[in-house]
Amino acid sequence: MSKPKVMMIVTNDSKHEEAAFVRGVLEGDGCDVIHLDCSIRRYVEGAEITPMQVAEAGGHTIEQVRALGHEGKCQAVMIEGAIKQAMKTHAEQGLSGVIAVGGSMGTGLAGFVMQALPYGLPKLIVSTMASGFVAPYIGVKDIAIMNSVTDISGLNTIARDVYRNAANAVAGMAKGYLPEASSGKPLVLMTMLSTTEKTVRPIREALEADGCEVMVFHSSGAGGPTLDSIAADKDVALVLDLSVTEIGDYLQNGLANGGPDRGKAGLQKGVPTIFAPGNADFVIAGPLEEAEKTFPGKRYHKHNPALTAVRTEMPELKQLADHLAGMFAEANGPISFFVPLGGFSNHDSPDGHIHDPDMPKPFADYVRSVMPANVDLHVEDGHFNDETFANAILAKAREYLAA
């Protein structure tokens, strides 16, 4: 059997020692290494894909890149070229893993390259940025990131351990890498939080029993945008956006902010979609003391020491309805909206901590007044987590799938 091929993204101009060390560990583990070198400042021999080739793939010579005289502009060219080189290498040779070692610039470049590669392919970045804000580097892909601890500037007892562990991890994953073939089943994408699992789980299980492949995404800030990315890229049969946390948090500046385009990809593509206001009863904030300052005068539920559910009221719910109505008006496929009259999540129930039975009916009345004509609106008695509500959504889902 051929050895697994691992792409190593390390700049030789400033990290030649680290690159040589990581290569040695990978080769010692039985991997073939393809070094993608995106150096700009100077050329150091040894990489399978040179800085000159990367720059040319980005539409420039390496001399032209250097002449730009601006690290951001230089980086943009090398990112474009690196992505093209990585995708070409994967298509022609079949990568089994990718590892990168870098600071802020190297992590940024490696993150863009890894985000362009398919789900499932092992990806790991050893980074000085790993203990901070890493969302831009990971995006919506399955990228692991390891704290380098020391700066990436020479080898020392800690650095060698970190690089060895990272290389061994990627080598192990590469040896076991087996790309999943398409299931051939209708693909259904869903959102949820644990506060709405009582309805989402039986819908998922029923659709799986019907022969669908179902992917569920945790709507805590990254899950929904990941769903949107997959809805845009893959052949998706149905979207069940049953948790609007990331949309509500975008409107109210909560922690699970999914951004202005959250929920739009499937609608614009024409994928049949069912929305429901799961978790519309709260905005996600930080620790209780912080939530009280950011959202004063509200009702709060301390979910855990790090997170607080802040109760929404009619102004916020109307704003949510207006936003959804605007999204739905632009849908290019079938769209349904299910509203429960008994509450929107486990928190908003008789057993919850921020239950308000006076909110759902006025919300439903307002929804009726603002929803565009293309929306198939269902106002259902009972709570979001009631079996009857789950069954109503399931019936519509099966109708869309059959069509």
Q: pLDDT (tens digit, 9 = 90+) per residue, 182-224?
A: 788 999 999 999 999 999 999 999 999 999 999 999 999 999 9
CATH number at residue 218: 3.40.50.12030
pLDDT bracket for residue 134 (50, 70, 90) = confident
Q: Angle at CA 141, nearest 5°, toward 138 and 147?
A: 35
Of 150, 176, 202, the one marking the end of a domain is 176
229/164 same-domain check = no
Rounded (to 5) percent helix, strand, coil in the chain: 45, 20, 35
Residue 123 shares a structural domain with residue 229: no
Write down which residue in 123, 152, 176 finishes a domain. Answer: 176
The answer to the question of residue 365 being in a domain is yes
* Short-list 81, 73, 70, CA closest to 36: 81
Tens-place pLDDT, residues 246-297: 999 999 999 999 999 999 999 999 999 999 999 999 999 999 999 999 999 9
Return the sign of the alpha-carbon dihedral for residues 72, 51, 124, 88: positive
Rounded CA-CA distance 344/277 in Å is 6
Average pLDDT value for residue range 78-85: 97
**In a domain? residue 23:** yes
> Which of 121, 156, 176 is the C-terminal boundary of a domain?
176
Report the predicted TM-score, pTM, of the whole model to 2 decimal places.
0.84
Statement to judge: residues 334 and 236 lie in one domain? yes
Residue 67 has a pLDDT of: 95
- Domain count of the chain? 2
Is residue 181 assigned to a domain? no
**What tens digit of pLDDT does each residue of 86-133 get?**
999 999 999 999 999 999 999 999 999 999 999 999 999 999 999 888
Are 145 and 268 contained in the same domain? no
Q: Is 360 contained in some domain?
A: yes
**Residue 154: CATH number of its domain:** 3.40.50.12020
Q: Which domain holds residue 280?
A: 187-402
Q: Report if residue 182 sits inside a domain.
A: no
Whether 49 is in a domain gets the answer yes
Same domain, 223 and 352: yes
Instruction: Report yes or no on 153 lying in a domain.
Output: yes
